[in-house]
């Protein structure tokens, strides 16, 4: 019987081992793996472009949920880590500190980087080096439902927006909704008041007078918003025609159109108090190269080919159209298909004032702390000044603990 | 009088059935919610006029899972892992639990309480250390690696659970067998295991379900798409704000749960002890 | 003679135990030791590769986590654990007994359906509860209230309601396992222990307390203790129901683990958060020793 157990055990181990697939490359053909978290349409567009490199280089796109967390763990581990990943620019600080990624300038001539909109390159620059090949960028947009908010009713400033909300909120309907507990969304308001969550050198700025003013102002609007702040609720309200306007990402547009909403897109309202427009965060999506892949000479060469192959307006435009975003190559905006697209041009306009999401490691903490601060104010009824001071102290403590 | 008693019993059974049907419905509400989303042709996760039977019925979301996703690859991976894990976990737990239950040896009590205490360490905190252990061995992104993790995680439960049942079986039965000259392994096989069948099934099913639904280790350690298990595949389908679709995710969740229910239903039959009731037990 | 038999016995025992202990050593023991080692270093994202041992500094800093917020979280966790365990044990026992009523024809069908919560990955069902049932705007519960002409409410907004809601979700998730354990335990007993006519309720109760429960107690004890720890360590339910970033509900219910997550793990300072983990582990050990003492006292009483 003992023998039986041992045999059983060994047999099982062997079957399991034998069924382990290796990722060996066949002669001359090299397979690169890119992780991403994008919509199927975006992945398909990128795949089409990368298939042009076959049969010498095969690129496999794998969708990963929780990509950022997995990378933190396996990012330095050959065999488990991918060769590249396709993600927003805001994690380059963390990954470069952990030596998971290498600068893009190792693969792409500096002169070629000048072809991109400066802001997209600036977004991915950490400690003076560029860590991402930008493909497209996105900002939040002011969207409205023409059936409830006719074009000439669209507020140009926040005071008008507030008055519109007062008139149109009630009975399960809302004048304006957005994810009011999410710092990514409220960030636009903070910037519109001249506040920022964190300074460039990593000092939290949650209790500045500008921030307090922004939070006070926002608190008045918040009272006219729904009971839930999370994305499913907010987006469903707008899709069902129960909210006249929202500030949301371009990724919403296909489902909004599908729901039969007559969608309008307008410039961000001007903050009446400061004269500045709401300035949402900007996210640049692009490719990052992993160190473990770059250290392998064969892969290194293939990665160079892939990256340079992607510096072309056609793929930028294809991706931008698939994602509803704006291409990162400056020359794209000379193409009729882009400059005739009002939504993309609106995004370009918003991007003039938008703030790229900070890419320093400290920002990871700010998202959590700032969200906590918003919940304290919006749901727990804490005084703005108290909540801001608490959050500031908390952020300082946590950042001190990072080292 | 006897008739009355029978009648009362019938009423009681009827009430009990009604109670269980109602209970099943209540328990199933969230599942029915997912089911309704997965069959609904219009709308997503939320809607202001939710109904359990959707107005516009569609199978598209199921088609999206079954055709567009390598569901059968995931299923196969999960099956291999789940059965290996059950096999290995039981093979190591049965002799271990037997030793804990039957032998009086130095350190026995310490092993036992040590095992209980170890369970107190939150598994989620072990992730990083396990990575550091498996990475130099080349066991990241390998079935062998994840199998070791699963068996290691579930063995404590297996040992303790089986020991509990073994303890409840009177030792005299084995002693009489031993007097007949049967060896330890023979005694385990022919006497203890049949008697402990419910325990073996409970343990096996428990390991099975754990492997089936475990996603935290799997998404971290099984990074290659060809190694995905059902839970990882499901996780990649998760609807977020920007990508994915709740109806497809709901459909996939339902599909992933069905085999477990089937296994559970099938094993129910064997949830009795191997020997006829009223036999040797005291 | 006697001695050598003892020795042989011990040898046999350890041999039989060793395969299991190797796995446990690798996956459970090693991580604890390694976490302790990391807790003595300054490993963080800024010196990911060149970290070095810095001594007990992390522990001094870790005490910072254990402020009044932590104390509150500890209390909530203890109450959470006790309430959940008591309810789980009582409900699971009653259910398992009812399912074992002899003439209940469809018991297998009921049992299978009641297992459904367990068949789905936990995070999926928690998200279904959070968004499908308890959403304040569109949730099923509020839609029903609305149809009954009542005011919809924010279920997860205040601490007490949110706590109760989380407990319902946790029971929903955990009861199938406990029911299965109880069912298995009852099945391994002689039928005369628990078999009872449906109608003599009083008889059933007395028999349960006097005979059935003492008989199954040793069988279910390990599962109960493991569930106890699982409940204590519960993270997903409370985090996903009330604290997901962007979807917070306003309720301020933290367990030890969610609190540690928010106040230590977010820093990505592995040395520091390992120290916090080790301290929490020590607390859990203290907690379990307390449970053991109480259990022993309960047994002798």
Instruction: Give pLDDT tens digits for A132-171.
Output: 999 999 999 999 999 999 999 999 999 999 999 999 998 8
Confidence of residue A372 (pLDDT cuts 50, 70, 90): very high
**Is A236 an 8 Å CB contact of chain C?**
yes
Helix H or strand E encompassing B115: helix B108-118
**Is B269 an 8 Å CB contact of chain C?**
yes
> Is pLDDT larger for residue C105 or for residue A389?
A389
As a whole number, mean pLDDT of residues A253-268 equals: 91
> Is pLDDT larger for residue B262 or for residue A66?
B262
Asked if residue A55 has a cis previous peptide bond (ω within 30° of 0), the answer is: yes
Please say if the pLDDT value at position C1 is more than 80.
no
Q: What is the pLDDT of residues A9-21, one digit of tens each?
A: 555 554 544 444 3
- Residue C39 inside a domain? The answer is no
* Residue B71 burial class via C-beta count within 10 angstroms: exposed 0-12, middle 13-18, buried 19 and up: middle
- Residue B278 inside a domain? The answer is no
Task: Name the minimum distance, in Å, from the CA of B211 to any CA of chain A.
Answer: 15
- Residue B277 inside a domain? The answer is no
- Residue B273 inside a domain? The answer is no
Q: Are residues B147 and B200 in the same domain?
A: yes
How many separate domains does chain C show?
Answer: 1
Mutation for A interface: C156, C157, C246, C251, most A CBs within 10 A: C246
- Residue C40 inside a domain? The answer is no
As a whole number, mean pLDDT of residues C231-257 equals: 89
CB-nearest partner of C46 from A97, A228, A229: A97
> For residue C207, is it left (φ>0), alpha (ψ between -120 and 50) or beta?
alpha
> Is pLDDT larger for residue C185 or for residue A385?
A385
Please say if the pLDDT value at position C252 is more than 50.
yes
**What is the predicted pLDDT for the residue at B30?**
93
Residue C272: its chain A contacts at CB < 8 A?
A: 401
- Residue B282 inside a domain? The answer is no
Q: Are residues B207 and B155 in the same domain?
A: yes
Q: Which chains are adjacent to chain B, needing at least 3 Cβ pairs under 8 Å? A: A, C
Residue B264: its chain C contacts at CB < 8 A?
A: 111-112, 115, 119
- Residue B206 inside a domain? The answer is yes
Q: Which residues of chain B have pLDDT under 70?
A: 1-3, 179, 181-182, 272-282
Q: Are residues B235 and B253 in the same domain?
A: yes
Residue (of C43, B186, C252) closest to A382 by Cα position: C252
Helix H or strand E encompassing A158: helix A158-168
* Proportion of chain C above pLDDT 70, given as a percent: 93
Residue (of C31, A82, C47, C28) closest to B132 by Cα position: C31
As a whole number, mean pLDDT of residues A227-249 equals: 92
Confidence of residue C299 (pLDDT cuts 50, 70, 90): low
Of A233-237, C33-37, C281-285, least confident by mean pLDDT is C281-285
**What is the predicted pLDDT for the residue at B188?**
81
Confidence of residue A1 (pLDDT cuts 50, 70, 90): very low
**Is B43 an 8 Å CB contact of chain C?**
no
**Is B178 an 8 Å CB contact of chain C?**
no
Residue A237: its chain C contacts at CB < 8 A?
A: 137
**What is the predicted pLDDT for the residue at C192?**
57
Nearest residue of chain C to residue B241 (CA atoms): C246
Helix H or strand E encompassing C36: helix C30-39
Q: Are residues B130 and B238 in the same domain?
A: yes
Q: Which residue, of B10, B28, B58, is where some domain finishes?
A: B58
Range of the domain at B17: 2-58
CB-nearest partner of C17 from B48, B96, B198: B96
What is the Cα–Cα distance from B122 to B129, expressed in whole angstroms? 12
**Is A364 an 8 Å CB contact of chain C?**
yes
Give the DSSP letter string of A317-347: HHHHHHHT-EESBGGGGGSHHHHT-HHHHHH
**Is A345 an 8 Å CB contact of chain C?**
no
**What is the predicted pLDDT for the residue at A6?**
47
- Residue C33 inside a domain? The answer is no
Cβ–Cβ below 8 Å for A236 and B45:
yes
What is the Cα–Cα distance from A267 to C203, expressed in whole angstroms? 76
Q: What is the pLDDT of residues A286-310, one digit of tens each?
A: 999 999 999 999 999 999 999 999 9
Q: Are the CB atoms for A65 and B238 separated by under 8 Å? A: yes
Cβ–Cβ below 8 Å for A37 and B243:
yes
What is the Cα–Cα distance from A115 to A328, expressed in whole angstroms? 9
Q: Are residues B128 and B242 in the same domain?
A: yes
Task: Name the minimum distance, in Å, from the CA of C6 to any CA of chain A.
Answer: 21
Q: What is the pLDDT of residues C66-88, one digit of tens each?
A: 788 888 999 999 999 999 999 99
Cβ–Cβ below 8 Å for A402 and C264:
no
Q: Which two structure tokens, joined as six digits, stand for B205?
A: 């099913």
**Please, which residues have CB within 8 angstroms of residue A29's CB and are 6 or more apart in sequence?**
A55, A56, A57, A58
Which structural domains are found in chain A, ordered by start? Answer: 30-138+282-356 (3.40.190.10), 140-281+359-402 (3.40.190.10)
**What's the CATH code of the domain at B208?**
1.10.3720.10
Angstrom CA distances, A205 to A70, A390, B15, stand at 30, 12, 64
**What is the predicted pLDDT for the residue at A22?**
36
Residues 181-200 of A with CB under 8 A from C: 181-182, 184
Q: Which chains are adjacent to chain A, needing at least 3 Cβ pairs under 8 Å? A: B, C
Residue (of C31, C230, C226, C220) closest to C122 by Cα position: C230
Mutation for B interface: C9, C22, C119, most B CBs within 10 A: C119
**What is the predicted pLDDT for the residue at C66?**
78
Which stretches within B119-245 are classed as H helix?
123-134, 143-168, 171-179, 184-187, 193-195, 197-213, 216-221, 230-236
- Residue C4 inside a domain? The answer is no
Q: Are residues B105 and B42 in the same domain?
A: no
Share the mean pLDDT of chain A: 90
**What is the predicted pLDDT for the residue at C301?**
52
Nearest residue of chain B to residue C216 (CA atoms): B168
Q: Is the dihedral of CA C87, C93, C95, C96 positive or negative?
A: positive
Task: Name the minimum distance, in Å, from the CA of C21 to any CA of chain A.
Answer: 15
What is the Cα–Cα distance from A147 to A259, expressed in whole angstroms? 13
Q: Which two structure tokens, joined as six digits, stand for C218?
A: 């040793």
- Residue C171 inside a domain? The answer is yes
Q: Is the dihedral of CA B25, B27, B33, B35 positive or negative?
A: negative
**What is the predicted pLDDT for the residue at C185?**
86
Angstrom CA distances, B10 to B4, B6, B15, B201, C67, stand at 10, 6, 9, 32, 60
Range of the domain at C247: 60-300
Residue C250: its chain A contacts at CB < 8 A?
A: 375, 378-380
Q: Are residues B118 and B251 in the same domain?
A: yes
**Please, which residues have CB within 8 angstroms of residue C5's CB and are 6 or more apart in sequence?**
none
Residue C287: phi and psi, rounded to 5, are: -60, -45
**What's the CATH code of the domain at C80?**
1.10.3720.10
Cβ–Cβ below 8 Å for C23 and B152:
yes
**Please, which residues have CB within 8 angstroms of residue A201's CB and are 6 or more apart in sequence?**
none
Confidence of residue C266 (pLDDT cuts 50, 70, 90): confident
As a whole number, mean pLDDT of residues A11-32 equals: 56
How many separate domains does chain B show?
Answer: 2
Helix H or strand E encompassing B256: helix B246-268
The shares of helix, strand and coil residues in chain B, as percent rounded to the nearest 5, are 75, 0, 25
Strands A133-139 and A57-63: unpaired
Q: Are residues B27 and B106 in the same domain?
A: no
Q: Are residues B153 and B120 in the same domain?
A: yes
**What is the predicted pLDDT for the residue at C102?**
77
**Is C45 an 8 Å CB contact of chain A?**
yes
Q: Are residues B150 and B258 in the same domain?
A: yes
- Residue C51 inside a domain? The answer is no
**What is the predicted pLDDT for the residue at A3?**
43
Cβ–Cβ below 8 Å for B47 and A240:
yes
Residue B211: its chain A contacts at CB < 8 A?
A: none
**What is the predicted pLDDT for the residue at B274?**
55
As a whole number, mean pLDDT of residues C169-190 equals: 88
- Residue B131 inside a domain? The answer is yes
Please say if the pLDDT value at position C198 is more than 50.
no
- Residue C215 inside a domain? The answer is yes
- Residue B280 inside a domain? The answer is no
Task: Name the minimum distance, in Å, from the CA of C105 to any CA of chain B.
Answer: 9
Residue with structure tokens 């308001």? A189
**What is the predicted pLDDT for the residue at B278?**
35
């Amino acid at each position: 019987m003992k023998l039986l157990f041992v045999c059983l055990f060994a047999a099982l181990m062997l079957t399991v081992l034998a069924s382990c697939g290796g990722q060996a490359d066949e002669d001359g053909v090299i397979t690169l793996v890119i992780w991403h978290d994008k919509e199927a349409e975006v992945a398909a567009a990128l795949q089409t472009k990368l298939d042009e490199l076959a049969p010498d280089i095969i690129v496999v796109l794998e969708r990963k949920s929780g990509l950022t967390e997995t990378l933190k763990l396996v990012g330095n581990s050959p065999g488990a880590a991918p060769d590249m990943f396709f993600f927003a620019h805001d994690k380059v600080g963390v990954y470069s500190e952990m030596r998971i990624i290498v600068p893009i300038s190792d693969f792409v001539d500096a002169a070629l980087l000048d072809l991109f909109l400066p802001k997209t390159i600036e977004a991915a620059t950490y400690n003076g080096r560029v860590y991402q090949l930008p493909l497209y960028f996105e900002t939040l947009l002011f969207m409205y439902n023409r059936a409830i908010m006719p074009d000439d009713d669209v507020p140009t400033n926040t005071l008008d927006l507030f008055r519109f909300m007062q008139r149109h909120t009630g009975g399960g309907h809302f004048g304006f909704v957005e994810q009011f507990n999410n710092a990514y969304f409220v960030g636009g308001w903070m910037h519109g008041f001249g506040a920022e969550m964190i300074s460039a050198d990593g000092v939290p700025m949650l209790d500045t007078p500008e921030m307090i003013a922004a939070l006070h102002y926002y608190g008045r609007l918040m009272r006219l918003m729904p009971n839930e702040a999370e994305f499913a609720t907010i987006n469903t309200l707008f899709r069902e025609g129960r909210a006249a306007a929202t500030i949301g990402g371009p990724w919403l547009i296909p489902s909004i159109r599908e729901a039969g909403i007559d969608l309008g897109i307008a410039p961000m309202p001007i903050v009446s108090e400061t004269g500045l427009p709401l300035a949402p965060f900007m996210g640049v999506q692009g490719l990052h190269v992993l160190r473990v892949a770059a250290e392998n000479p064969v892969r290194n060469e293939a990665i160079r080919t892939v990256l340079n192959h992607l510096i072309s307006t056609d793929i930028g435009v294809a991706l931008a159209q698939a994602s509803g975003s704006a291409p990162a190559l400056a020359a794209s905006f000379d193409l009729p298909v882009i400059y005739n697209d009002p939504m993309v041009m609106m995004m370009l306009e918003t991007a003039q004032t938008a703030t790229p999401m900070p890419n320093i490691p400290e920002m990871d903490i700010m998202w959590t702390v700032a969200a906590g601060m918003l919940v304290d104010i919006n749901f727990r009824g804490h005084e703005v000044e108290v909540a801001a001071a608490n959050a500031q102290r908390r952020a300082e403590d946590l950042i001190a603990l990072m080292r | 009088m006897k008739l009355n008693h029978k009648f009362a019993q019938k009423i009681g059974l009827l009430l009990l059935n009604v109670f269980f049907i109602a209970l099943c419905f209540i328990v199933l509400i969230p599942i029915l919610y997912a089911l309704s989303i997965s069959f609904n042709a219009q709308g997503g996760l939320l809607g202001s006029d939710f109904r359990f039977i959707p107005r516009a019925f569609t199978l598209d979301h199921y088609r999206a899972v079954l055709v567009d996703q390598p569901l059968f690859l995931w299923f196969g991976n999960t099956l291999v892992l789940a059965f290996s894990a059950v096999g290995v976990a039981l093979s190591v737990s049965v002799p271990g639990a037997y030793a804990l239950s039957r032998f009086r040896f130095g350190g026995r009590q310490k092993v036992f309480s040590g095992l209980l205490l170890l369970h107190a360490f939150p598994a989620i905190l072990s992730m990083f250390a396990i990575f550091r252990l498996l990475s130099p061995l080349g066991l990241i992104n390998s079935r062998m690696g994840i199998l070791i993790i699963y068996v290691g995680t579930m063995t404590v439960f297996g040992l303790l659970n089986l020991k509990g049942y073994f303890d409840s079986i009177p030792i005299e039965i084995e002693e009489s067998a031993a007097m007949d000259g049967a060896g330890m392994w023979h005694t385990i096989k022919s006497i203890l295991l049949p008697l402990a069948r419910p325990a073996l099934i409970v343990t096996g099913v428990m390991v099975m379900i754990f492997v089936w639904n475990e996603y935290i280790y799997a998404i971290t350690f099984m990074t290659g798409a060809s190694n995905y298990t059902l839970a990882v595949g499901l996780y990649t389908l998760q609807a977020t704000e920007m990508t994915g679709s709740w109806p497809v995710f709901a459909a996939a969740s339902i599909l992933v749960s069905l085999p477990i229910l089937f296994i559970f239903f099938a094993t129910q039959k064997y949830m009795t002890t191997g020997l006829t009731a009223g036999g040797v037990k005291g | 003679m006697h001695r050598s038999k003892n020795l042989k016995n011990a040898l046999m025992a350890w041999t039989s135990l060793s395969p299991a202990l190797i796995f446990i050593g690798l996956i459970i023991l090693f991580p604890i030791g390694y976490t302790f080692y990391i807790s003595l270093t300054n490993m963080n994202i800024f010196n990911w590769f060149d970290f070095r041992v810095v001594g007990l500094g992390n522990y001094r800093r870790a005490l910072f986590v254990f402020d009044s917020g932590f104390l509150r979280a500890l209390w909530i966790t203890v109450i959470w654990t006790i309430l959940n365990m008591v309810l789980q044990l009582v409900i699971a026992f009653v259910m398992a007994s009812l399912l074992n009523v002899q003439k209940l024809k469809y018991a297998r069908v009921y049992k299978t359906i009641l297992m459904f919560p367990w068949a789905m990955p936990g995070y999926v069902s928690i998200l279904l509860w959070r968004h499908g049932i308890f959403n304040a705007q569109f949730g099923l519960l509020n839609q029903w209230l609305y149809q009954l002409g009542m005011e919809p409410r924010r279920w997860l907004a205040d601490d007490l309601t949110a706590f109760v809601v989380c407990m319902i979700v946790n029971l929903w998730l955990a009861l199938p396992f406990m029911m299965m354990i109880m069912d298995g335990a009852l099945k391994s007993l002689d039928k005369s222990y628990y078999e009872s006519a449906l109608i003599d309720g009083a008889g059933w109760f007395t028999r349960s307390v006097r005979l059935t429960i003492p008989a199954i107690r040793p069988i279910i004890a390990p599962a109960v203790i493991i569930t106890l720890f699982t409940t204590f360590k519960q993270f997903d339910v409370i985090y996903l129901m009330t604290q997901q970033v962007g979807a917070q509900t306003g309720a301020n219910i933290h367990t030890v683990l969610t609190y540690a997550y928010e106040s230590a793990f977010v820093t990505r300072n592995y040395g520091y958060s390992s120290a916090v983990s080790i301290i929490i582990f020590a607390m859990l050990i203290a907690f379990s020793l307390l449970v053991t003492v109480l259990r022993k006292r309960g047994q002798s009483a």
